[in-house]
Chains A and B, each alone.
Chain A
Amino acid sequence: MRWGVFLIAALLFVALDISFMSVFAIGSITPQLTPILATFVALAAPRVTVMWACLLLGLLLDLCPPPIGEGLNAFQIAGPRALGYFFAANLLLPLRTMVFRRNPLTLAVLTVLFAVAASLVVVMIWTIRSSYPDAPVVFGGRTSLSELGRSALQALASGAAAIPVGWFLVRTVPIWGFQTHGQRLGKW
């Protein structure tokens, strides 16, 4: 995989997630592009490259505006999303040999799975952190369970967004430099 292409795409997708994607919001549910990119990479890149790429994507999201603690102190932590994405990537890696990647729904379904798996880790870490004495208000004041429900809906929205975005990403496969068999990604 060409890391330059990936870094540009990562910055672009994260920037769009934090600015543009709320145009598709239904209530508080906003689809996200970053899990789509992570899933796309996880389907095609070598195993260790996938892990690095997902760690980097999660880290970029960790560095987005954080929860706010007591006295309006920002609670910026590097780790929860990076670990969440790492966990989700490791969940997808064994599955990618079993899926039919030419099907346009594959990326959508796996994006849902990826986003749900990542959110499990994120919610777990923040739930543990919320027991710290100087903990911020996490999940906008919701409980961990309702946050998991919200994350599942968000994952579904991201999965829906993955159909058109995935179509576009597959068109760009030649510039990514994946060393995989062309037929595995195929043409939609």
Chain B
Amino acid sequence: MARAAVQSIRPVVITVGLLLVLSFLPRRALWWVGDIAAIVSLPMAPIADLGNDVRIWLRPGSDPLRGAPEEIELLVAERDRLRELWSAERLRVDQLLTQLEDFRLAEQFDRGSSFDPIRADVIGRGPEGLRGAVRINVGSRSGVKPGDVAVFRGAHLVGRVAQEVGALTSLLVPSNDPSVGRLHAALMPDPEPGNASPAPLRLLLTPALDGSFAADCDRSWRVAPGDSVVLDDPAWPESSRGMIVGEIAEVEPRDDQPLRLRLRVVPVYALHELRTIVIKVEPRRTGDGDGDANWEEGDS
């Protein structure tokens, strides 16, 4: 009897009809699918974790520091971290100078860039392969909130947590994903004699299909391949300011605009090649309850 039910075509037709309806329902009617996806990802997580380990062992991602002594690795990480802090301070100073008359000055000082680091493992990717969001094994139970940023080696920005955060897992969107949109960034020129802190050079980075960013700049700017580009986007959390988005890979003059240069910026580390990242969780505030307000305010 039960076997006959299994072999009946009618339930299949009903299921297909239901899936057809689900496929075209508006997003607001499908809020529950994400919860089911989070539950389904749990039994697959241990296998995916092991699969990631084997993948990294067989084919480690591009890492300029691979094979370097641990001491060098630590020194470079520390250098990048200090450079990030320095860039963040320079950008903040620049912003404060332009807002000097504004009453928000004191609040800006208060905000700082403190954060709590949370280690997270990548436990799943989309079936399309090396693009789109990835699933990580930390969620709201660990303090992760929508909009938190993910970093690698301290100062390299690799992604941002998507809106739907589950209790145990969450989705992380690569910083170079087209859905993230354009990024406001800056080039930080080196100090010159008589000018210890030259003004940052602002760029608007547009994600390209190959995972790099494109940006235009003035021809008079002194830019060269290898220069680091740092984030300076008010829509991103304060803790991400000054973090390294990527390095300039190509500088080419624009044929249609002779006074402009076209820059190609490539992230040093690609999220899809990484096994473990760190989420910078904004510390919980007591009293003012502005938690997600910063993120929503920045995004609007």
Contact A140–B132 (Cβ < 8 Å) = yes
- Name the A residues within 8 Å of B7 (CB-CB): 46, 48-49
Contact B19–A55 (Cβ < 8 Å) = yes
- Name the B residues within 8 Å of A68 (CB-CB): 132-133, 162, 171, 173, 177, 179-180
Contact B163–A74 (Cβ < 8 Å) = yes
Contact A55–B15 (Cβ < 8 Å) = yes
Contact A20–B30 (Cβ < 8 Å) = no
Separation of A13 and B148 alpha carbons in the complex (Å) = 31
The segment from A105-113, A130-138, A160-168, A169-177 found at the interface with B is: A130-138
The segment from B80-88, B119-127, B188-196, B213-221 found at the interface with A is: B119-127
Contact B55–A19 (Cβ < 8 Å) = yes
The segment from A58-66, A94-102, A180-188 found at the interface with B is: A58-66
Contact B19–A25 (Cβ < 8 Å) = no
- Name the B residues within 8 Å of A12 (CB-CB): 47
Separation of A16 and B49 alpha carbons in the complex (Å) = 9
Interface string of A24-41 (1 = CB under 8 A from B): 010011101010000000
Q: Which of A18, A52, A83, A142 interacts with B127 by CB under 8 Å? A: A18
Q: Which of B27, B36, B124 interacts with A65 by CB under 8 Å? A: B124
Given A69-B27, A78-B36, A22 contacting B130 (CB threshold 8 A): yes
Given A15-B51, A80-B23, A134-B26, A65 contacting B16 (CB threshold 8 A): no
Q: Which of B19, B34, B59, B133 interacts with A79 by CB under 8 Å? A: B19
Contact B55–A22 (Cβ < 8 Å) = yes
Contact B299–A65 (Cβ < 8 Å) = no
- Name the A residues within 8 Å of B44 (CB-CB): 11, 14-15, 18
Q: Nearest B residue to A16 by beta-carbon distance?
A: B51
- Name the B residues within 8 Å of A129 (CB-CB): 23-24
B246 to chain A, nearest CB (A): 18
CB contact list, B16-62 vs A, under 8 A: 16, 19-20, 22-24, 26-27, 30, 33-34, 36-37, 40-41, 43-45, 47-52, 54-55, 58-59
Contact B26–A25 (Cβ < 8 Å) = no
- Name the B residues within 8 Å of A4 (CB-CB): none
- Name the B residues within 8 Å of A81 (CB-CB): 127
Interface size classification for chain A = 35 or more
Whether B98 is near chain A, meaning CB under 8 Å from some CB there, is no
Contact A22–B272 (Cβ < 8 Å) = yes
Whether B156 is near chain A, meaning CB under 8 Å from some CB there, is no
- Name the A residues within 8 Å of B36 (CB-CB): 63, 78
Q: Which of A29, A55, A65, A77 interacts with B133 by CB under 8 Å? A: A65
- Name the B residues within 8 Å of A61 (CB-CB): 127
Separation of A129 and B161 alpha carbons in the complex (Å) = 23
Whether B74 is near chain A, meaning CB under 8 Å from some CB there, is no
B235 to chain A, nearest CB (A): 10
- Name the B residues within 8 Å of A103 (CB-CB): none
- Name the A residues within 8 Å of B207 (CB-CB): 141
Contact A20–B55 (Cβ < 8 Å) = yes
- Name the A residues within 8 Å of B43 (CB-CB): 11
- Name the A residues within 8 Å of B131 (CB-CB): 28, 140
Whether B129 is near chain A, meaning CB under 8 Å from some CB there, is yes
Separation of A69 and B36 alpha carbons in the complex (Å) = 19
Q: Which of A32, A59, A140 interacts with B178 by CB under 8 Å? A: A140
CB contact list, B125-142 vs A, under 8 A: 125-135
Separation of A32 and B127 alpha carbons in the complex (Å) = 8
Contact B130–A76 (Cβ < 8 Å) = no
- Write 27 A-B pairs (CB below 8 A) sorted by A numbering: A12-B47, A15-B48, A18-B125, A18-B135, A19-B50, A20-B51, A22-B55, A22-B130, A25-B130, A28-B129, A48-B9, A55-B12, A67-B126, A71-B163, A72-B147, A72-B179, A73-B162, A75-B27, A76-B30, A76-B37, A77-B23, A78-B19, A78-B23, A80-B23, A83-B19, A140-B132, A140-B177
**B interface vs A, CB < 8 Å?**
6-9, 12, 15-16, 19-20, 22-24, 26-27, 30, 33-34, 36-37, 40-41, 43-45, 47-52, 54-55, 58-59, 123-135, 146-147, 160-164, 171, 173, 177-180, 207, 209, 272, 299
| Shortest Cβ-Cβ A-B pairs, 10 listed | A79-B23, A19-B51, A20-B51, A30-B129, A15-B47, A19-B48, A68-B179, A63-B37, A141-B178, A15-B44
**A interface vs B, CB < 8 Å?**
11-12, 14-23, 25, 28-30, 32, 34, 46, 48-49, 51-52, 55, 59-61, 63-83, 86, 125, 128-129, 132, 134, 136-137, 140-142, 154
